[in-house]
Amino acid sequence: MAQASPLGGSDVSALYTHRLTAPELAELKTLVDELTQSFGSVETAEFADACSLAAQQLPRRLRELAHRFKYLHLACGAVLLRGVPVDDERIGPSPSHWDAPWRNPPTLREEVTQCLLAAALGDIFGWRTQENGRFLRHIVPIPKERNEQLGGSSSTTLVWHNEEAFHEFRSDFLAILCYRNEEQAETILSYIGNLHIPDDKWRILSAPRFLILPDKSHLPDQNVSAHWRLDDHAFEHIQRMHSDPRPVPALSGARDKPFIQVDEAFMRAADGDEEAAQAFDWLLREFDAKKLGVVMEPGDMLWIDNKRAVHGRSIYQPNYGPRHRWLRRVNVTLSLRASLPYRESALGRHIV
Ligand SMILES: [Fe+2]
């Protein structure tokens, strides 16, 4: 049942929806015009820095929405912004692979818009071991990945996960913008605020009794590109997390507003801990029971709370070709200062 909100949007269970208004779009256009005059790519530290500053000039209602979402004043795990400008003609055909060129893309305005709206939540960043740190990933169907737990999959359910659940500096939020989704693929979400967690389950799930391995997108063979070559040293930290994962809890923080650290495909209870294995399975089935499906349309942007909601994607049949499904995704952190030892410099936005 949709509920009215003081912000003027609607709150449907785990999702808060807001359609951008004409005045908001006009203010947004002015900021995008300014940034595109200065930058030919969003993929530089200088752009990311300028974006953080420009986001302070976004329309007040969007900043208020981001503020309330960030600080858990809204009872939802995701916000759906509708009506973000996406020019279907200018963006050209959907790419066949994530390894698209970085510079002078036909999607520059859409990319700047997405980074700017994402920066209302915090600072955008990339992973050195994932597409060489590219901020804005392409999510497109890839035939040889169709059965994998990767963004290119389609024939298998992309199971419940937090993005980079294995990493201490995983993003606080994701901002996903839909360019095309004619196949009507369904993004799935589940919000921890909708779950009742009994004391016995909390005791187990909030203890460091679980191991999470880095997901496949951070492996060297998933990072072969025609546009750059990654130094093997970049993967040393990831390799250590593979060979010697540190036990972590699945839930943490405040008992009544917990944070989640879950990746169904790459996570398990410690060896021999049957009680933890059963509690983890219970949590996953609770996420299933409270699942929310969103069929994104062009111009839909999802802000997903990567610590209060898990996400995934249902099985779908891609229309492989120039109009196949095409989403873009960017990571957002609330604590850029904390990750400084893992970045190339204070200005740099790539975490190793
Ligand atoms: Fe994901």
The CATH code of the domain that includes 168 is: 3.60.130.10
Q: Is residue 167 part of a domain?
A: yes
pLDDT tens per residue across span 282-338: 999 999 999 999 999 999 999 999 999 999 999 999 999 999 999 999 999 999 999
Q: How far is the CA of 197 from the centre of ligand 1 (A)?
A: 24
Q: Which is more confidently placed, 235 or 84?
A: 84
Q: Is residue 240 part of a domain?
A: no
pLDDT given at position 9 = 57
pLDDT given at position 8 = 54
Q: Is residue 89 part of a domain?
A: yes
Q: How far is the CA of 330 from the centre of ligand 1 (A)?
A: 11
Q: How far is the CA of 161 from the centre of ligand 1 (A)?
A: 7
Structurally, the chain folds into a number of domains equal to 1
Residue-averaged pLDDT of the chain: 91
pLDDT given at position 60 = 97
Q: Is residue 84 part of a domain?
A: yes
Can you tell me the distance from the alpha carbon of 313 to that of 190, in angstroms, rounded to the nearest whole number? 11
Q: Is residue 232 part of a domain?
A: no
Q: How far is the CA of 33 from the centre of ligand 1 (A)?
A: 30
Q: How far is the CA of 37 from the centre of ligand 1 (A)?
A: 32
User: CA of 29: how far to CAs of 21, 32, 70, 299, in Å?
Assistant: 12, 5, 24, 14
Q: How far is the CA of 6 from the centre of ligand 1 (A)?
A: 30
pLDDT given at position 150 = 85
Residue 238 banded pLDDT, cuts 50, 70, 90: confident
Q: Is residue 204 part of a domain?
A: no
- Examine the pLDDT at 62 and tell me if it is beyond 50: yes
Q: How far is the CA of 89 from the centre of ligand 1 (A)?
A: 27
Q: How far is the CA of 230 from the centre of ligand 1 (A)?
A: 23
Q: Is residue 75 part of a domain?
A: yes
Q: Is residue 177 part of a domain?
A: yes
Q: How far is the CA of 30 from the centre of ligand 1 (A)?
A: 31
Query: Tokens representing 341?
Result: 């030892």
pLDDT tens per residue across span 114-169: 999 999 999 999 998 887 788 999 999 999 988 888 889 998 999 999 999 999 99
Helix axes 22-38, 45-54, angle to 10 degrees: 150
Q: How far is the CA of 196 from the centre of ligand 1 (A)?
A: 24
Q: How far is the CA of 298 from the centre of ligand 1 (A)?
A: 19
pLDDT given at position 1 = 42
pLDDT given at position 219 = 73
pLDDT given at position 215 = 72
Q: Pairing between strand 326-333 and 137-139?
A: antiparallel
Q: Which is more confidently placed, 146 or 88?
A: 88
**Phi-psi region at 131: left, alpha or beta (left = phi > 0; alpha = psi -120 to 50):** left
Q: How far is the CA of 158 from the centre of ligand 1 (A)?
A: 8
pLDDT tens per residue across span 93-115: 999 888 777 677 899 999 999 99
SS (H, E, C) the chain: CCEECCCCCEEECCEEEEECCHHHHHHHHHHHHHHHHHCCCCCCHHHHHHHHHHHHHCCHHHHHHHHHHHCCCCCCCEEEEECCCCCCCCCCCCCCCCCCCCCCCCCHHHHHHHHHHHCCCCEEEEECCCHHHCCCEEECCCHHHCCCCCCCCCCCCEEEECCCCCCCCCCCEEEEEEEECCCCCEEEEEEHHHCCCCHHHHHHHCCCCEEECCCHHHCHHHCCCCCCCCCHHHHHHHHHHHHCCCCECCEEEECCEEEECCECCCEEECCCCHHHHHHHHHHHHHHHHCCEEEECCCCCEEEEECCCEEEEECCCCCCCCCCCCEEEEEEEECCCHHHHHHECCCCCCEEC
If you count them, how many residues does the chain have?
Answer: 352
Q: How far is the CA of 331 from the centre of ligand 1 (A)?
A: 10
Q: How far is the CA of 34 from the centre of ligand 1 (A)?
A: 31
Please give the residue range of the domain that contains residue 31.
3-190+296-351
Q: How far is the CA of 312 from the centre of ligand 1 (A)?
A: 6
Q: How far is the CA of 255 from the centre of ligand 1 (A)?
A: 25
